[in-house]
Amino acid sequence: MEKRVTFSNYWLAGLFIAPQLFLVFTFFYWPTGQALYWSLTLEPPFGGGNQFVGLQNFMAVFGDAHYWDSVIRSLVFALGTTAISVGFATVLALFADRGLFGHSIFKFAYFLPYAVPAAAVGLAFRFTFTPDAGIFGAVNHIIPGLWDPSRNGGQALFMIMLGQAWKMAGYNFVFLLAGLQSVPRSMIEAAAMDGAGVFRRMRDMQMPMITPTFFFLFVINITDSFVDSFGMIDVMTRGGPSRATELMVYKIYLDGFEAKDYSLAAAQSMLLMLLIMVMTIFQFRYVERRVHYN
């Protein structure tokens, strides 16, 4: 049984949590409530008398083929970035964990990208992947028209996926490294005595032992890619070319703030929130409990 310190004085306890509750309410529950209200009404763009329309906004969203396209795109984006980012971070963590020369410098350097704001990452990637200069300029010079994310939608989406994956890799790296370092040394040594080489030990011992970390990171990465990709898309492609990078979160922005259809945007926000809530509940209920060995 877990021991807890409990308050017998509820007034004092309430006083202590009041500032936090106030913040959470002001910046989370109130806007969420407002969005929920908007999603059920028809909101004129310049304010003034709104009208209750029930689930009509949701029906409009569900009936919109562009919306479903953005959902599929978001899923591809989420799974793709997560796979790239976690996969890449795993390789880095496995080698950093081996304590090779200079590993403390690498540990610091690998985490650094996570501290860069998404918009800055977007800007950097936009310049790096621009088709008419730098490395891709050279590539296009040899094979004209091979790389152009401003015209090729697939390439544009891939570019943003790389940016998001690059940014999250540092975060994933830290968790994976911590997971690897909690694997008992003697177990790895036992595997070495059993004849397993470095790569074999990584595959048979270290990777299975950090499955809980993998599951945790999958959920976190997917959630993050749903909401945090906004800055990068806005800087790099603004949803284009021809909606190729219009993910759910960016479509909300376009419908709400460009097309000024607050109600439709609010309904989509509600749906995105629901999706993220389901993922979070999944994480708490299943992931955090199931994958344990001892």
Partner 1 sequence: MSEISIRGVMKSYGRNTVIHGVDLTIAAGAFAVILGPSGCGKSTLLRMIAGLEKISKGDIAIDGKVVNKLEPRERGCAMVFQNYALYPHMTVADNIGYALKVAGVSKDERAKRVNEVAKSLALTDYLGRKPSELSGGQRQRVAMGRAMIRQPKVFLYDEPLSNLDAKLRVQMRAEIRKLHNQLGATSVFVTHDQVEAMTLADQIIVMNAGRVEQVGTPSEVYRKPATRFVASFIGAPPMNLLEAKVTGRTEVAIGSRHLMTPHHGLANGQSLIVGVRPEDVSSISGETLNVSFVEELGAQRFVHGTFEGQDFVVQQPPSDSSDKPATVVFSIRPETIHLFDAASGLRIEPVSVTAPAPAFA
208 binds partner 1 (CB under 8 A): yes
Q: Which of 83, 174, 209, 275 binds partner 1 (CB under 8 A)?
A: 209
Residues 6+ apart with CB under 8 A from 8: none
**Stretch near partner 1 under the rule CB under 8 A, chosen from 22-30, 75-83, 118-126, 190-198:** 190-198
* Amino acid making up residue 191: A
C-alpha to C-alpha distance for 180 and 191, rounded to whole angstroms = 15
Of 206 and 269, nearer to partner 1 (C-beta) is 206
Block residue for tokens 């621009």: 130
Q: How far is the CB of 124 from partner 1 (least distance, A)?
A: 40
Q: How far is the CB of 212 from partner 1 (least distance, A)?
A: 11
Q: How far is the CB of 66 from partner 1 (least distance, A)?
A: 45
DSSP 218-263: HHHHHHHHHHTTHHHHHHHTTT-STTTT--HHHHHHIIIIIS--HH
State the number of binding residues for partner 1 (CB under 8 A): 19
Of 19 and 197, nearer to partner 1 (C-beta) is 197
Q: Are strands 51-52 and 41-42 parallel, antiparallel or unpaired?
A: antiparallel
149 token code pair: 């994310």
Determine contact, residues 117/231, Cβ cutoff 8 Å. Answer: yes
C-alpha to C-alpha distance for 229 and 247, rounded to whole angstroms = 8
143 binds partner 1 (CB under 8 A): no
Q: How far is the CB of 198 from partner 1 (least distance, A)?
A: 10
Of 205 and 222, nearer to partner 1 (C-beta) is 205
180 binds partner 1 (CB under 8 A): no
204 binds partner 1 (CB under 8 A): yes
Q: How far is the CB of 204 from partner 1 (least distance, A)?
A: 8
Q: Using only the alpha carbons of the chain, give its radius of gyration.
A: 23
C-alpha to C-alpha distance for 231 and 236, rounded to whole angstroms = 9
Q: Which run of H or of E encompasses 106?
A: helix 103-111
Q: How far is the CB of 216 from partner 1 (least distance, A)?
A: 17
Of 76 and 187, nearer to partner 1 (C-beta) is 187
Determine contact, residues 39/266, Cβ cutoff 8 Å. Answer: yes
Q: Which of residues 231-270 bind partner 1 (CB under 8 A)?
A: none
192 binds partner 1 (CB under 8 A): yes
276 binds partner 1 (CB under 8 A): no
141 binds partner 1 (CB under 8 A): no
Query: What's the farthest any 2 CA atoms get from each other in the chain?
Result: 76
205 binds partner 1 (CB under 8 A): yes
SS3 content of the chain, % helix, strand, coil (to 5): 75, 0, 25
287 binds partner 1 (CB under 8 A): no
Q: Which of 196, 273, 275, 276 binds partner 1 (CB under 8 A)?
A: 196
Q: Which of 13, 178, 184, 285 binds partner 1 (CB under 8 A)?
A: 184
C-alpha to C-alpha distance for 70 and 160, rounded to whole angstroms = 15
**Stretch near partner 1 under the rule CB under 8 A, chosen from 36-44, 49-57, 204-212, 248-256:** 204-212
Residues that bind partner 1 in the complex, under the rule CB under 8 A: 184, 186-187, 189-197, 200, 204-205, 208-209, 293-294
